[in-house]
């Protein structure tokens, strides 16, 4: 009887150990499954044919280096033939800032309701070809016109809304993508006052690495060990604010090799004059500098004679 009880007790204890081991393994298993399920980011290249580029009369095209420009009477649509990025900007207004002619020349906004504007812009860009599953949110910026004396500054009561611009935010498997953009400002005819799109392909391997890094840093202990290693390589990381796992890629104007990486991104404030910089760490906690950032640094560095 005692032997049976002992045997039963051993089985129960062994069973509890197995349950504990399985429970401990679940986060890693979940991380692996999430990483395996992560797919690539789909590229979308905008075009003047899909744009709400409103123009009266004939359009003309010209080429300036790597840029193909489509010129209308009110705006210019430009495509970077290297990266595929596009930008539509309105032509400059020749009338003075306080003239009635300027007020008449300025476009009229679609709506004074930012949510309605965002719904319209999102529907437009998704219909054009932006992958719906990659759009995680939207945010709005506002263009205003203001008046007031130089001494007193701009007076809010004399300011008026010119238009809203809605920006689509990109995420892949729950990871924010930094560097991609799709935005538009629409007028009262539903045509674009301005717009821009850069939505490059992101390799599935990069998405999987980002998902794995997010799971790795999900626990307090995991994050502490990761930052501890990073601080040994870059001590000022100790001054960093709470960071976030992101996918970052080279910018729309970069004409070198395309690069996309999974990073832990945080803001580190300097001791001097409150300045701050964005610090990116790879999955090993090593400081990462993207190719387009290296190009900018090289351009700002004077040549030694």
pLDDT along the chain (305 residues), means of 10: 37 35 42 61 96 84 95 93 96 61 77 97 98 98 79 72 96 97 97 97 97 94 86 66 91 95 88 76 90 64 45
Do the domain assignments include residue 41? no
Q: Which of 198, 229, 263 is the last residue of a domain?
A: 198
pLDDT value of position 153: 67
pTM given for the model? 0.80
Cβ–Cβ under 8 Å, residues 192 and 241 = no
Range of the domain at 280: 204-300
End-to-end Cα, the chain, rounded Å = 94
Q: Which of 141, 166, 198 is the last residue of a domain?
A: 198
Q: Which residue has the tokens 């990871």?
A: 175
Residue with tokens 């300097």: 270
Q: What's the confidence (pLDDT) of residue 301?
A: 45
- Are the C-beta atoms of residues 83 and 255 closer than 8 Å to each other? yes
Say yes or no: 220 and 115 in one domain.
no
Q: How far is CA 251 from CA 174, 288, 292, 296, in A?
A: 21, 15, 7, 11
Alpha carbons 166 and 60: distance in angstroms, whole number: 28
Q: What is the pLDDT at residue 58?
A: 81
Domain identity same for 174 and 212: no
225 and 279, same domain (yes or no):
yes
In a domain, 249, yes or no: yes
Assess whether 91 and 184 both reside in one domain.
yes
With respect to residue 9, please indicate whether it lies within any of the assigned structural domains: no
Element (H, E) at 27: helix 2-37
180 lies in the same domain as 277:
no
- Which 3 state secondary structure label does DSSP give 267? strand
Per-residue pLDDT, 103? 64
16 in a domain, yes or no? Answer: no
Same-domain pairing of 170 and 72 = yes
Residues 102 and 129 in one domain: yes
131 belongs to a structural domain: yes
Q: What is the pLDDT of residue 22?
A: 33
Same domain, 88 and 162: yes
* pLDDT score recorded for residue 20: 39
Give every CB contact of residue 59 below 8 A, 6+ residues apart in sequence.
48, 70, 71, 72
Residues 176 and 226 in one domain: no
10 Å Cβ neighbour count for 102? 14
Residues 182 and 281 in one domain: no
Q: What is the pLDDT of residue 24?
A: 36
Q: What is the DSSP letter of 241?
A: P
| Token digits of residue 163 | 């238009």
What domain count does the chain have?
A: 2
175 lies in some domain: yes
Q: Residue 67 corresponds to which tokens in the numbers above?
A: 């840029």
Note whether residue 14 is domain-resident.
Answer: no
Structural domain includes residue 128: yes
- Say what the alpha-carbon torsion angle 116, 118, 123, 126 is, to the nearest 10 degrees: -170
- Where does 69-145 have alpha helices with state H? 100-105, 114-128
94 and 173 co-located in one domain: yes
Domain boundary among the residues 169, 198, 227 is at: 198
Task: Mark whether 193 and 209 lie in a shared domain.
Answer: no
């Amino acid at each position: 009887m005692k032997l049976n009880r002992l045997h039963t007790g051993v089985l129960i204890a062994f069973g509890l150990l197995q349950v504990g081991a399985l429970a401990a393994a679940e986060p890693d298993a979940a991380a692996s499954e999430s990483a395996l399920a992560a797919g690539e980011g789909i590229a979308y290249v905008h075009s003047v044919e899909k744009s709400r580029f409103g123009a009266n009369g004939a359009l003309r095209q010209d080429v300036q280096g790597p840029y193909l420009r489509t010129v209308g009477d009110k705006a210019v649509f430009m495509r970077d033939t290297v990266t595929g990025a596009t930008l539509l900007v309105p032509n400059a207004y020749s009338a003075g800032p306080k003239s009635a002619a300027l007020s008449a020349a300025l476009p009229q906004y679609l709506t004074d309701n930012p949510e309605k504007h965002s719904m319209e812009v999102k529907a437009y860009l998704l219909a054009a070809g932006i992958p719906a599953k990659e759009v995680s949110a939207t945010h709005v910026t506002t263009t205003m016109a203001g008046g007031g004396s130089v001494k007193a500054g701009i007076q809010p009561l004399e300011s008026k809304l010119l238009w809203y611009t809605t920006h689509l935010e990109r995420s892949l498997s729950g990871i924010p993508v930094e560097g991609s953009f799709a935005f538009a400002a629409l007028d009262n005819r539903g045509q674009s006052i301005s717009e821009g799109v850069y939505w490059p392909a992101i390799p599935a391997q990069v998405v999987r690495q980002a998902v794995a890094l997010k799971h790795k840093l999900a626990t307090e202990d995991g994050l502490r060990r990761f930052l501890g290693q990073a601080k040994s390589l870059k001590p000022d990381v100790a001054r960093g604010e709470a960071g976030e796992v992101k996918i970052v890629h080279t910018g729309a104007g970069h004409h070198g090799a395309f690069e996309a990486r999974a990073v832990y991104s945080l803001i580190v404030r300097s001791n001097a004059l409150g300045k701050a910089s964005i610090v990116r760490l790879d999955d090993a906690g090593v400081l990462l500098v993207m190719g387009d950032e290296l190009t900018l640094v090289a351009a700002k560095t004077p040549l030694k004679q």
